[in-house]
Chain A
Amino acid sequence: MSLLDVTDAAQIYTTRRGLFGRPVKVRAVDGISFSVQPGRTLGVVGESGCGKSTTGRMALGLERPSEGSVTFEGAAMPVPRSAEWRDMRAKMQLVFQDPLGAMDRRLTIAQQIEEPLVIHRIGNAAERKERVAALLVDVGLRPDHAARHPHELSGGQRQRAVLARALATNPKLLVCDEPVSALDVSIQAQVVNMLTDLQVARGIAMVFISHDLKVVRQVSHEVAVMYLGRIVEQGDPEALFADPAHPYTRALVSAIPVPGPRRIPRIVLTGDPPNPADRPSGCAFHTRCPVAIARCKAEVPALRHFDDGRKIACHLADAQTKVAE
């Protein structure tokens, strides 16, 4: 059984254009489905405004989808801020990009890590102290870090502390929203290795949201590529990045600057991603797609299953898989 099931979920926000403008409905996430198994990682990639963070918030039950459903361990998400919802928080945790913003600057590292245990009434004072010490070791911090304040740690150490706090209640699901994007390359590798080790040791399921395709490929068991609120391609990370099928995925992969010779010729897309409040007709990508045909403008492509286990939302996907063979 899946730990997390998201089915046809959509999130609709209402915004105004200007002070007196008419309210406009924006479909930030527009009907996405995926499931995450215990101990597995789903990577979610896409550019700013594609709905990847909203997806993470829906997965955690921080926002109720406007349409569709999210279930955790087979049961529907409780209403936000209810007592059941609060109890759920112990089972699922969120890790953000900016660890300093996620911490209370006046509390010591040990107090911050202990806080979720106090909130969820886990253990007595002595047990909690022991647990905090064990968590510090798990994330690779030294015992003397416990008494420090967030500003006395480096960026990498702070992200480790945030992770220790997230792990305090033994969650089954971790949603990581750009967890290593603010870190330097050498520190990033340390934290990525630690995340994968902790996942193996504890069997945690993860939703890993990032714009960095290299890191997502490294940590994920499955990858979903999002464009303007929809999943356009989903599948095994090695296959998907080695042979991207959707024209958007191909452009993304070809745009990654890599040291050494380039495998795929670079595709430079023209223009900016469209505004979600002003979604193009048909396939939302047709305005920037180098291979779009007339049908793409008129008809929304469905996310279809292919033989290699991949799902692709493109009218031209059949022709392309043939070309690939």
Chain B
Amino acid sequence: MAEPLVRIRGLDVKFNGLPALRGIDLDIGKGEAVGLVGESGCGKSVTWLAALGLLPKKAAVSGSVTLDGAELLGAAPAVLDDVRGGRVAMIFQDPATALNPVQTVGRQVCEALTLHRGMDDAAARAETRRLFEMVGIPNPAQRIDVYPHEMSGGQNQRVMIAMALAGQPELLVADEPTTALDATIQAQILDLLRRLQAETGMALVLISHDLGVVADMCSRVCVMYAGRIVEQAPSEELFARPAHPYTQGLLGALPDMVGPRRRLSAIPGGVPEPWNLPPGCAFAPRCERADGACAVMPPFQALGRDHDAACVHLNEAVAA
């Protein structure tokens, strides 16, 4: 693989001494679409908040995050200001709370343009109109001057995407971008993200709890559990041949849309609390294959081209 755009090595985050991330290694290639899946609290959002220096002061962050070879962790505020919203943009789940309710949507996008591309008012306004058109907002010339509450949730998310594009990012991190939206609107936004990625050549990191969304959008998927990546593989490979017992459990817990209905194979128990992490594999207490060997931290094992999983019982898992 060529030099990746973002290289994360041994990223650790602790909140008040409690581990939230435990040694994340992750590469994002230029123009690549990577999905991060996992349940609440697994660290999929914290990974990117830590990488971009957006965590509160009480978070202890260690490890290394480089963008085109330049270290981001502990970088000067001026360097980070240039990266955030510029070279790396982020959009969140709920556009209604991410937008400023007392400013027009156009002004908020213009602000990003002035900041990151040094445009004057007239140029920023013209560029905003172009961006609104690009993200499929109807009547962009009029919509520039409305407030967030005058638009639907789907339209607000389009504004957020326009704002993210304002800095011409090389990487867009989309954190559950469609979770708050209705099904038909979710399809529109995913379509838009796919089209924009193809047009601009930016890399995309899609954070989602929805395996279906990630399968649809990403070429590579990382599955996270309790602050670690437990399996990563090309999308098709992961859904055809999941190797880690947790990945298999997640897929088995999803109801099917076709074929006869079967009882869902629920994973027993719940995610361990950060103050109550078992030694070794964090999934062991819920895993039917767990035994004494799981008490030590399982190393990554290669299963094939670009397919790794952190489990000591992989061979049995694949055979099963």
Q: Which residues of A contact B (CB under 8 A)?
A: 47-48, 154-157, 184-190, 192-193, 196, 211, 213-215, 217-218, 238, 241-242, 251-260, 263, 266, 268-273, 288
A172-B138 Cα distance, complex, nearest whole Å: 48
Nearest chain A CB to B312's CB is how many angstroms away? 21
A196-B261 Cα distance, complex, nearest whole Å: 12
Interface flag for B155 (CB, 8 Å) = yes
Chain B 206-223 interface mask (CB, 8 Å, partner A; 1/0): 000111110110000000
Q: Which residues of B contact A (CB under 8 A)?
A: 39-40, 138, 152, 154-155, 182-188, 190-191, 209-213, 215-216, 239-240, 249-258, 260-261, 263-268, 270-271
- A242 and B258 within 8 A (CB): yes
21 contacts between A and B (CB under 8 A): A185-B209, A186-B249, A186-B266, A190-B266, A193-B264, A211-B182, A213-B257, A218-B255, A218-B261, A242-B258, A253-B257, A255-B184, A256-B257, A257-B186, A257-B215, A258-B215, A258-B216, A260-B215, A260-B240, A263-B258, A272-B155
On chain A, the residues within 8 Å of B257 by CB distance are 213-214, 217, 241, 253, 256, 258, 263
- A259 and B264 within 8 A (CB): no
- A259 and B239 within 8 A (CB): yes
Closest 3 CB pairs of A and B: A257-B212, A189-B253, A189-B266
Residue of B39, B152, B266 contacting most chain A CB atoms (<10 Å) = B266
| Given A47-B182, A192-B264, residue A259 in contact with residue B212 (CB < 8 A) | yes
Residue of B nearest to A184 (CB): B39
On chain A, the residues within 8 Å of B253 by CB distance are 185-186, 188-189
On chain B, the residues within 8 Å of A218 by CB distance are 255, 261, 264
Residue of B nearest to A153 (CB): B270
Q: List the count of A-B residue pairs having beta carbons below 8 Å apart.
A: 120
Nearest chain A CB to B96's CB is how many angstroms away? 13
Residue of A185, A196, A215, A268 contacting most chain B CB atoms (<10 Å) = A185
Q: Which of B152, B211, B250, B255 contacts A217 (CB 8 A)?
A: B255
Residue of A nearest to B273 (CB): A154
Q: Which of A186, A213, A241, A251 contacts B39 (CB 8 A)?
A: A186
Nearest chain A CB to B274's CB is how many angstroms away? 13
A214-B263 Cα distance, complex, nearest whole Å: 13
- B255 and A214 within 8 A (CB): yes
On chain A, the residues within 8 Å of B155 by CB distance are 272
Nearest chain B CB to A265's CB is how many angstroms away? 12
A157-B273 Cα distance, complex, nearest whole Å: 14
A273-B185 Cα distance, complex, nearest whole Å: 9
Nearest chain A CB to B94's CB is how many angstroms away? 14
A272-B240 Cα distance, complex, nearest whole Å: 35
Residue of A nearest to B246 (CB): A186
A211-B258 Cα distance, complex, nearest whole Å: 18
Having A47-B185, A213-B183, A257-B213, one finds 20 other A-B pairs with CB under 8 Å, namely A155-B40, A156-B270, A184-B40, A185-B39, A186-B249, A186-B266, A189-B254, A189-B255, A189-B265, A211-B183, A257-B190, A258-B257, A259-B211, A259-B215, A259-B254, A260-B215, A260-B239, A263-B258, A269-B187, A269-B188
Nearest chain B CB to A228's CB is how many angstroms away? 13
On chain A, the residues within 8 Å of B271 by CB distance are 184
A48-B40 Cα distance, complex, nearest whole Å: 24
On chain B, the residues within 8 Å of A192 by CB distance are 255, 264, 266
Q: Which of B186, B209, B254, B260 contacts A214 (CB 8 A)?
A: B254
- B249 and A257 within 8 A (CB): no
Nearest chain A CB to B98's CB is how many angstroms away? 19
- A238 and B183 within 8 A (CB): no
Residue of B nearest to A248 (CB): B184
On chain A, the residues within 8 Å of B263 by CB distance are 193, 196
On chain B, the residues within 8 Å of A213 by CB distance are 183, 257
On chain B, the residues within 8 Å of A269 by CB distance are 184, 187-188
On chain A, the residues within 8 Å of B210 by CB distance are 257
Nearest chain B CB to A77's CB is how many angstroms away? 30
A175-B313 Cα distance, complex, nearest whole Å: 43
A130-B39 Cα distance, complex, nearest whole Å: 35
A241-B268 Cα distance, complex, nearest whole Å: 29
On chain B, the residues within 8 Å of A288 by CB distance are 184
A258-B255 Cα distance, complex, nearest whole Å: 10
Residue of B nearest to A192 (CB): B264
- A186 and B184 within 8 A (CB): no
Nearest chain B CB to A161's CB is how many angstroms away? 14
A89-B251 Cα distance, complex, nearest whole Å: 38
Residue of B182, B211, B268 contacting most chain A CB atoms (<10 Å) = B182
On chain B, the residues within 8 Å of A266 by CB distance are 187
Residue of B nearest to A271 (CB): B138
A185-B42 Cα distance, complex, nearest whole Å: 13
- A214 and B256 within 8 A (CB): yes
A157-B269 Cα distance, complex, nearest whole Å: 10
On chain A, the residues within 8 Å of B187 by CB distance are 251, 254-255, 266, 268-269
Residue of A186, A188, A215, A252 contacting most chain B CB atoms (<10 Å) = A186
